[in-house]
Structure 1
């Protein structure tokens, strides 16, 4: 996700919380007759051929002096080749133009920068990739001020697109233009939603006119138009649908972004698992997207997708739970003929190593491009040290597949002896599990790999654990680290309530705090840090913390805040 992605959490929290308790209403696909002409069908085929897509994030969209200003290396041709070799068919190249644009009235783009963008585009087209370029963080840097500075913003916007359109007018139709990334006007002071929708319509219409009248391939080049904030809420999609209908152009594509059901996406409010609410959010969102656009002949690209917690680190969401999210999302989007583009700011595919930081996640995504994979209710088999051996039953989500075999390394487990399978109930036998933890080492003792007749494998981590132990500590609101002996398990979430009653800390509508924002564990240094963002919204006095671990255990702890001083004691 982009460095300015955190606004999504704040902008959508009220909407998402409301969705948790109210039924969703799908768009009425009968409101507009479907476009069934050949041109619309051809454009849908174009978008289908873009599957799967990848974002070159936090690079040319960086807001500093050059593409390395946010920490990623300069793009190389080898990187583009490697991405194509991973199986990707399209690449979104976010571009921020702001600091590379001259003063009024010409607003001339630095020729060297425009040439650099063209170089990366040409590398991508050379690898037979579909390519999307846009105005990216310009959206919040200056376009957001449109209500107060209407003429100036529109003149600058028009000038930039006039130059881009001229530069690329003879490029292959595999290059598409996106009018603006995540357009929003709240940063500029706009509070009226209708006003924001009207300004976005004005921008999209102006963009369309500039490109279509610029000659060459631009007369029919596919153009990508976003909803307000690229949000898939119904009112905003309806507004974009009205714009597209008004333009009456069969080469227009709608785009939204999706980072999941917010509480799950950041691990807050106890949403640690890929549960019914999270799955239903996918279903409702993209049924509405389909009914609003795709069913009416308007193709859709999810220009960015992922999980918001990845802004902190990819460990915010437990491994098996994130795998289930990505598997199901890919399946549902494919069923609705919607093409997604993975947001990658460098945390997934190494820009110089050309290796995936999480090969299991990549394999799950890659498999989902063509088929469904089987998953399970968990990828964790927790066994307590010293406890009597018992069989462990795990529910499989077969997704139409069948279990073929289970391996421990190169050794195949024996069905009937090491495990049994009854329908979707997989039972690991106590004797086999006991043998796997015979070393007595706390933590992951074995990885059991389940193979299915189709799709990706699923790993079960066999974990020997003991109850975690926390220790007393003195600290401050800027640095408070609780010594923790994790004893083989990992932290799922944390509750915080005042001893006198009421939820403590940020987002006090829930006792369960946001992972990696209010607290974060460190397994290498054996501590749990309570972060400044947590203490910024904690009153003086006693706060009772409950640490919930993935082994099912909970450990209580009390902190006392007095100004900037904090004391922590076990309970």
Structure 2
């Protein structure tokens, strides 16, 4: 994953590049004895390795679940440059106490290494990395370290600077391997993060990636000590799980004839859903199938054949992000993480949550989860399924009569047990009915739950199932939002907006000739928080400089704002030089 202020490396070009980076995994439909996790009980990683004599598959299974110390030792140019405080022993104490069994510690070496031969890594930096690794191991955690953002800083130049890049890569791993040769084998080395090479075809990229992985393997194995048999983690090109990249990695691993190898990929979901672009507002059948297909490929290529897979990063791109309005609706994100946990377990894949700190999962300053409920749902997915529904929102128009509303239950193999509001169980028949998987809330119940019908969430109820976490349903009163004319510049335009209890789902833009308006030229639906963003406290819809500067001059663009209630609002925008005017459609 990428830096705190940007998370951008994955998104800086069109869908081809982006889909290449949307690395994937394998989702099996059922658990089998050969692929499902059966991690041995253990107090810590060292005990597991010492007393259980684990196989590579067993070791990687014992690493589940895993967590990334993101945007810290991989930050550029230094550990605290991207907003996180320096790592502490207490941080790993917390991670261990929260149930994690391993940590991935990404490391960027570039700014702590000479850029010319002999490519010496600064001793102070090397010692700092060693200190952090030792803290994690002291807590009984398995640890993975790597060469991280170096991948795009200088490794990517291999096609035009082959010999120097290869020499620097070998020199880097020679020094790292020497420093850690006597560390416990609960430490794993990962060759290179998201391998990428400038201006290359897939075939060329695969060749360069194979060359680096092989050089990494040779250097580490020749360094002796525990490195002679240490588990080594090899990435596919881009850490992508498309079949072509999995096959190439499988072929290379076979050629190395080393049983102590681990394959790695990343997974951030179906791209339109992961960033909310091209209308990908829901974790729908397409997104679900993308996840299933990816996990199936990994299981078929690796885990079903006894080759361990460490999924080094997963999550949703730029979610959560407390610095901006959420681009992904909460219930849809919860459904993503719920299925992800199940599919990973079914495929026998160990997964490492990408956590950039600062604005995401674990606050490095307070050592508290920024969203405990979301983390609890991720944690629950490691061991069991939970039921969901087609939505976690029921919208009631304030200007109209309240009528019954129907949701589709997704039991995920569980049994629906009923609805509750706090400790009070709702009455089936009076408050709701169930027909198959169709859950209907009656007008009587919704009238009571809506109360005085103030805009926004009036009540929250939950659907409970035979196990797992309950599914929350928010009863929301709204009226269609009201937009007003506005004038601004290409530096930004804020449309005065009365949201009236509703929330923005997405925005599409088109010109009169039917072509798409906005920087995303392959879809009329623009990217949330990149082209547009709601400002709920400020009662505005913000059109960004990126969007406005992409517009044709003196040509009206018609925007359609889609809201979660189902309401749509049309708005016209015209750019003339640096001036932008907006009118209500």
Most deviating of 491-500 and 405-414: 405-414
Unaligned residue ranges in structure 1 (runs of 5+): 19-24, 27-33
Question: Aligned runs of 1:540-559 on 2, under 5 Å?
Answer: 540=553, 541-559=555-573
Residue aligning to 2:2 = 2
Is 1:216 aligned to 2:216, yes or no?
Answer: no
Structure 1 SS opposite 2:326: helix
Distance 1:10 1:285, change over 3 A: farther
Query: 1:9, 1:262 within 8 Å by CA — same for their partners in 2?
Result: no
Most deviating of 386-395 and 47-56: 386-395
Structure 2 SS opposite 1:303: strand
Is 1:136 aligned to 2:145, yes or no?
Answer: no
Unaligned residue ranges in structure 2 (runs of 5+): 21-25, 28-34, 36-51
Shift of residue 41, structure 1, vs aligned partner = 8.0
Most deviating of 345-354 and 484-493: 345-354
Shift of residue 70, structure 1, vs aligned partner = 1.0
Most deviating of 558-567 and 100-109: 100-109
Residue aligning to 2:580 = 566
Residue deviations 1:219-253, cap 9 Å, x none? Answer: 11100000111111222221111110110000100
Shift of residue 383, structure 1, vs aligned partner = 0.5
Residue 234 of structure 1 is aligned with which of 243, 248, 255? 243
Is 1:318 aligned to 2:329, yes or no?
Answer: yes
Distance 1:13 1:109, change over 3 A: same
Query: 2:325, 2:535 within 8 Å by CA — same for their partners in 1?
Result: no
What is the alpha-carbon distance in structure 1 between the residues aligned to residue 211 and residue 512 of structure 2?
A: 53
Structure 1 SS opposite 2:84: coil
Residue 225 of structure 1 is aligned with which of 223, 231, 234? 234
Query: 1:559, 1:569 within 8 Å by CA — same for their partners in 2?
Result: yes
Query: 2:325, 2:529 within 8 Å by CA — same for their partners in 1?
Result: no
Is 1:513 aligned to 2:526, yes or no?
Answer: yes
Residue aligning to 2:265 = 256
What is the alpha-carbon distance in structure 2 between the residues aligned to residue 68 and residue 384 of structure 1?
A: 48
Residue 165 of structure 2 is aligned with which of 153, 168, 177? 153
Query: 2:492, 2:548 within 8 Å by CA — same for their partners in 1?
Result: no
Residue 479 of structure 1 is aligned with which of 492, 504, 508? 492
Structure 2 SS opposite 1:494: strand
Residue 537 of structure 2 is aligned with which of 524, 527, 550? 524
What is the alpha-carbon distance in structure 1 between the residues aligned to residue 53 and residue 12 of structure 2?
A: 36
Most deviating of 310-319 and 96-105: 310-319
Q: TM-score, normalised by structure 2?
A: 0.90
Residue 282 of structure 2 is aligned with which of 270, 273, 294? 273
What is the alpha-carbon distance in structure 2 between the residues aligned to residue 58 and residue 433 of structure 1?
A: 45
Structure 1 SS opposite 2:384: coil
Query: 1:316, 1:516 within 8 Å by CA — same for their partners in 2?
Result: yes
What is the alpha-carbon distance in structure 1 between the residues aligned to residue 61 and residue 411 of structure 2?
A: 26
Query: 2:507, 2:559 within 8 Å by CA — same for their partners in 1?
Result: yes
What is the alpha-carbon distance in structure 2 between the residues aligned to residue 500 and residue 103 of structure 1?
A: 52
Q: Which runs of 4+ in 1 moved over 6 A?
A: 15-18
Query: 1:40, 1:297 within 8 Å by CA — same for their partners in 2?
Result: no
Residue 309 of structure 2 is aligned with which of 300, 313, 323? 300
Is 1:342 aligned to 2:344, yes or no?
Answer: no
Shift of residue 90, structure 1, vs aligned partner = 1.1
Is 1:416 aligned to 2:429, yes or no?
Answer: yes
Structure 1 SS opposite 2:61: helix
What is the alpha-carbon distance in structure 2 between the residues aligned to residue 78 and residue 342 of structure 1?
A: 19
Distance 1:17 1:305, change over 3 A: closer
Residue 73 of structure 1 is aligned with which of 79, 85, 93? 85
Question: Aligned runs of 1:345-364 on 2, under 5 Å?
Answer: 345-346=356-357, 347-364=360-377
Query: 2:2, 2:9 within 8 Å by CA — same for their partners in 1?
Result: no
Most deviating of 303-312 and 440-449: 303-312
Residue deviations 1:488-509, cap 9 Å, x none? Answer: 0100011101134321111222
Structure 1 SS opposite 2:266: strand
What is the alpha-carbon distance in structure 2 between the residues aligned to residue 359 and residue 52 of structure 1?
A: 17
What is the alpha-carbon distance in structure 1 between the residues aligned to residue 564 and residue 330 of structure 2?
A: 12
Question: Aligned runs of 1:19-30 on 2, under 5 Å?
Answer: none
What is the alpha-carbon distance in structure 2 between the residues aligned to residue 344 and residue 362 of structure 1?
A: 11
Q: How many residues align?
A: 550
Residue aligning to 1:488 = 501
What is the alpha-carbon distance in structure 1 between the residues aligned to residue 19 and residue 108 of structure 2?
A: 32
Query: 2:102, 2:141 within 8 Å by CA — same for their partners in 1?
Result: yes
Residue aligning to 2:299 = 290
Residue 166 of structure 1 is aligned with which of 178, 192, 195? 178
What is the alpha-carbon distance in structure 1 between the residues aligned to residue 18 and residue 145 of structure 2?
A: 30
Shift of residue 72, structure 1, vs aligned partner = 0.9
Shift of residue 411, structure 1, vs aligned partner = 2.8
Residue aligning to 1:402 = 415
Residue deviations 1:248-281, cap 9 Å, x none? Answer: 0001001011111111111111111111110111
What is the alpha-carbon distance in structure 1 between the residues aligned to residue 112 and residue 563 of structure 2?
A: 49
What is the alpha-carbon distance in structure 2 between the residues aligned to residue 532 and residue 304 of structure 1?
A: 31
What is the alpha-carbon distance in structure 2 between the residues aligned to residue 86 and residue 395 of structure 1?
A: 33
Question: Aligned runs of 1:20-99 on 2, under 5 Å?
Answer: 42-64=55-77, 66-99=78-111
Query: 1:494, 1:512 within 8 Å by CA — same for their partners in 2?
Result: yes
Shift of residue 106, structure 1, vs aligned partner = 2.5
Residue 210 of structure 2 is aligned with which of 201, 208, 219? 201
Shift of residue 103, structure 1, vs aligned partner = 5.0
Query: 2:10, 2:18 within 8 Å by CA — same for their partners in 1?
Result: no
Residue deviations 1:168-210, cap 9 Å, x none? Answer: 1111111100001011112xxx323322222211111111111
Query: 1:61, 1:94 within 8 Å by CA — same for their partners in 2?
Result: yes
Question: Aligned runs of 1:432-471 on 2, under 5 Å?
Answer: 432-471=445-484
Residue deviations 1:98-140, cap 9 Å, x none? Answer: 1111354332211111111111111111111111000000001
What is the alpha-carbon distance in structure 2 between the residues aligned to residue 284 and residue 271 of structure 1?
A: 18
Residue aligning to 2:41 = none
Is 1:501 aligned to 2:510, yes or no?
Answer: no
Shift of residue 158, structure 1, vs aligned partner = 1.1
Q: TM-score, normalised by structure 1?
A: 0.92
Structure 2 SS opposite 1:221: coil
Residue deviations 1:32-90, cap 9 Å, x none? Answer: xx9xxxx99811111111111111101100111x2001111111111111111111111
Structure 2 SS opposite 1:371: coil
Residue aligning to 1:426 = 439
